Amino acid sequence: MSTTTHAIAAPAPGAPLEQTTIQRRDLRPDDVLIDIAYAGICHSDIHQAQEDWGTAIFPMVPGHEIAGVVAAVGSNVTRYQVGDRVGVGCMVDSCGECEYCLAGTEQFCVKGNVQTYNGVGFDGENTYGGYSRQIVVKDAFVCRIPEGIELDVAAPLLCAGITTYSPLRQWGAGPGKKVAVVGLGGLGHMAVKLAVAMGAEVTVLSQSLKKQEDGKRLGATHYYATGDESTFDVLRGRFDLILNTVSAKLPVDAYLGLLRVGGAMVNVGAPGEPLSYNAFSLIGGNKTLAGSMIGGIAETQEMLDFCAEHGIGAEIETISADQVNTAYERVANSDVRYRFVIDTATIGS
């Protein structure tokens, strides 16, 4: 027997979100029922609710930055018990059998990982995300939130945190390395915090200097405005790693010029139009232009443990259910520092 829970849904592409109720499946033996406490608003929620990235499933309950407490567990679940603090990120299932699942990179499952919302499970049922009071998730896709992080600031870590942690780890951010973070938004502010905690020297590259004080407070050593063309001359050949967190079209060749020989520019932002570059911008310095997509479940747990150890959480503005549409407008206008988080207790109240 399914469970009815309160939720916030987009009824159609581009339509205002509204409060409703949805059905959550009855617990299977390997399921966990979670009472959601907080759900972060990711810019990708807006893109999908507006159907910017192709045909989507409606009604849509967005949300893949989920933090809460275990309310019940299935008969085969041993890793969690009622009362545990847990989180759920961008995916809720995968085949578990392909080479990528077995390697702990479930996001690259050859059958396609099951997205937390706007997806279809292997059972043929649509998935609904974290803008709700409860969610049922397979235990293998639930992460433990350590006691060192409050649930509200932990919620955005399940997307923004792992999206930036994974490439920083993969491309060796650490002592002796110079890392540039392009953009100081929901992803960028997490990248700064994480790279600093890893021991790297961090520079923020932003269009203007209006967030410079925040960047320095978060731990950045340097802050430059890319709107000033001289920035690209001053910083030429400086960085081991550039992490691009913005979804805007950039002059890629200019940014590649900021890399040291053998350096890498990694994209985690998803612009709506193609990026172009000159091959010689890579060939001339043995440079790499790459992308990175979230991280596997084990790495997500590693990220949460790292954040607890270093006292890292997202910079948030907590909102109620009736403020979500306004929050969407503000995110679209870059008017948030740096992540909206929904207090889900206000949904249906």
Query: Residues 35-81: pLDDT tens digits?
Result: 999 999 999 999 999 998 899 999 999 999 999 999 999 999 999 99
Q: Please answer whether residues 259 and 199 qualify as being in contact, where contact means their C-beta atoms are separated by less than 8 angstroms.
A: no
Strand 134-138 versus strand 91-93 pairing type:
unpaired
Cis amide linkage into residue 13, ω under 30° from 0? no
What's the half-sphere exposure (Cβ side, CA atoms, 13 Å) at 292? 27
Fold observed for domain 3-159+295-346: Quinone Oxidoreductase; Chain A, domain 1 (3.90.180)
Class of domain 161-291: alpha beta
Nearest to 183 by CA among 242, 137, 253: 242
Enclosing H/E stretch for 343: strand 339-343
Q: What is the pLDDT of residue 1?
A: 54
Nearest to 49 by CA among 63, 38, 64, 62: 62
Contacts of 131 (CB under 8 A, 6+ apart): 7, 8, 9, 17, 39, 61, 62, 63, 324, 342, 344, 347
Q: Specify the amino acid at residue 347.
A: I
How far is it, in rounded angstroms, from Cα 77 to Cα 311?
30
Total Cβ atoms within 10 A of residue 79: 12
Q: Is 155 left (phi over 0), alpha (psi -120 to 50) or beta?
A: alpha
Q: Please answer whether residues 135 and 31 qualify as being in contact, where contact means their C-beta atoms are separated by less than 8 angstroms.
A: no
Instruction: Show the low-confidence residues of the chain (pLDDT under 50).
Output: none
CATH 3.40.50.720 domain range(s) in the chain: 161-291
Helical ranges in 139-243 per DSSP H:
151-154, 160-170, 186-198, 212-217, 231-234
325 phi/psi in degrees, rounded to 5: -65, -40
Q: Is residue 219 helix, strand or coil?
A: coil
Q: Is residue 150 helix, strand or coil?
A: coil
The overall longest dimension of the chain from CA atoms, in Å, is 64
How far is it, in rounded angstroms, from Cα 238 to Cα 255?
11
CA 42 vs. chain centroid, Å, equals: 7
